[in-house]
A and B are shown apart, each in its own frame.
Chain A
Amino acid sequence: MKELEKTKRISISAILVILALIIGLLTMKTPEITYVNCKNKSLANLIEQPIFITLKQYKEIKDKTVIIDIRTAFDFSKGHLEEAINIPLTSLLEKSSIAIFDKAKTDSITAVLYGKSAMDANKASTFLRQIGYTNTKVIAIETSFDSYELTSKEISPETLLADIPSFIKKSNERKKVVIKKTIIKKPKPRKVIPIKKKKKYESEGGC
């Protein structure tokens, strides 16, 4: 009798423990999307694999890419590049878009992004790389919608377009030249009008 009671207690407590564990496991919140790389790794990734590729580089790897348009659905409906998939910047974390990136990652395909400006695509790519999709690149183009046609203009990101110190130097040289010119103009001799002194006539001799 006593033995039976004991085994009952043990089995009940064991079941309770297992139940508690199962409930704990179910309710434990695991964030769906997390950063995969730590800060140093994602920084190294950004440096080693620059985000931007030129249009030429893109054409070389065209077979192994999927083009993603990150503009709004409205802009996308007006016109887009061939075979582009629309994932607006604001809905990058939605399940459908994550699935596309996941598929690209498992097939080792590069996801090439483009947007209204290279800046928008840059934002999206940097963000995606931090949540683990390091296979994202951005084409260095700027798109605009002119006369019912999507036109793109190539840009060269992060290149200094002007030599600033030499410009400043030149501008200061220009300044000096002008001064010289005016100096030449300046001297204008005044006309000296000689004033002839009148000869004092000696008073004509009187007596």
Chain B
Amino acid sequence: MFKNMLDKRYVFLTVVLLILGSGLLFLPKQKVNEGIDPTDLLMNINSSERFISTDQLADKIISNDPSFIVIDLRDEDSYKQYSILNAINIPFKNLMEEASINYLNQDQYDVVLYSNDHFIADQAWMLCNRLGYENLFVLDGGMNAWYKTIINPMKPTENMAMSAFNTYDFRKAASMYFGVGYPEPIFVEAKKPVTKRKAPKKVIPIKKKKKYESEGGC
């Protein structure tokens, strides 16, 4: 009699568990979000904090700032042709490989991404931001802006503000740091000895001969 009751309890328990289990089957497939919430991503996209200007980057490179790395997202050929000093080449198609993620997903360095323009770099930034990687920046204008502002800066015209001249001075100095030659300063230096300095006429004093009285001869 007692044994029989136990059995019935077990049967009841298994039935309950079965119902629960079959309930799991009908649960909707939960969508898994890989990365941060899309609404957060949209908010991050709209803020312009991620952009770093070419002047800021040049200043960082020249002052040997150890807290950042520069990543070139273009293909290998254009990287070999010209790249920003000490940049690391990660072609955009290799962005999600493990070797590249080691550079992107860390909190020791600020990482500056650049491409020919800022479009590819910004796409890369968005992918990384979605995955929650921090300390990433985008070079505003990319390589084209780097050329226009740092390598070949426009000389300000005379009617421009003083600040334009100051930035030009900085950019010119920076471009010289990155190997651009300017004819002017050397011209000035070389010119110095050319300045005509009239050799002082030597004044040759002509001593008037004293007329010796002719020594009396005979």
Contact = CB atoms under 8 A, between A and B. Distances in A.
Nearest to A159: B116
B23 A21 contact: yes
Contact of A43 (B23, B95, B118, B193): B95
A35 B35 contact: yes
A126 interface: yes
B182 A171 contact: yes
Contacts, number: 179
B42 interface: yes
Contacts of B12: 10, 13
B82 A43 contact: no
26 contacts: A10-B12, A30-B30, A30-B31, A34-B32, A34-B38, A89-B45, A90-B46, A92-B42, A119-B119, A126-B127, A130-B127, A130-B130, A131-B38, A160-B78, A160-B144, A162-B152, A171-B182, A174-B181, A175-B181, A178-B187, A179-B190, A182-B187, A183-B190, A203-B212, A204-B214, A206-B214
Interface stretch (A44-52, A56-64, A74-82, A106-114): A44-52
A4 interface: no
A157 B182 contact: no
B147 A162 contact: yes
A168 B180 contact: yes
A134 interface: no
Interface of A: 6, 10, 13-14, 17-18, 21, 25, 28, 30-31, 33-35, 38-40, 42-43, 46-47, 51-52, 89-90, 92-93, 118-119, 122-123, 126-127, 130-131, 157-162, 164-165, 167-168, 171-175, 177-179, 182-183, 185-186, 188, 190-191, 193, 195, 201, 203-207
Interface in B32-88: 32-35, 37-39, 41-42, 45-46, 78, 81-82
B34 A39 contact: yes
Contact of A17 (B20, B42, B120, B193): B20
Contact of A171 (B143, B181, B194, B204): B181
B183 A162 contact: no
B127 A39 contact: yes
A161 B93 contact: no
Given A167-B151, A206-B216, A43 B126 contact: no
Contacts of B181: 168, 171-175
B151 to A, nearest CB: 6
Nearest to B41: A127
A18 B16 CA distance: 10
Given A18-B19, A34-B32, A127-B42, 20 more contacts: A10-B15, A14-B16, A30-B30, A31-B33, A31-B38, A35-B35, A35-B130, A51-B119, A90-B46, A118-B119, A123-B122, A126-B123, A126-B126, A127-B45, A130-B38, A174-B181, A178-B187, A178-B190, A193-B202, A207-B216
